[in-house]
Amino acid sequence: MTTQNEQVIDDVKWGVKYCYCAQHLRVHSTGWCSVSWTEKLPLFAGTLEEAFEEFKRIKRIAQSGEV
């Protein structure tokens, strides 16, 4: 089992500020929760607003089958 401290370190290793969390079903800052990194998608955005936009683009592509 991953401890919360280990999880924060895993999130910081990504080198990004934001992620989409499959457990919380939303975008939030990395290191904020103890959900495993395997259930998160790193987002390469500088602001929270940009992170939301990046996730919307990813979601549109995934739903369209253009991958």
pLDDT digits (tens, 9 = 90+) for 9-61: 656 677 788 999 999 999 999 888 888 889 999 999 999 999 999 999 999 99
- Phi/psi of residue 58, nearest 5 degrees: -60, -45
pLDDT higher than 60, residue 65: yes
Buried b (16+ CB within 10 A) or exposed e, 52-65: eebbeeeeeeeeee
Q: Domain coordinates of the chain in residue numbers?
A: 4-64
Say what the pTM is.
0.75
For residue 67, what pLDDT is reported?
A: 59
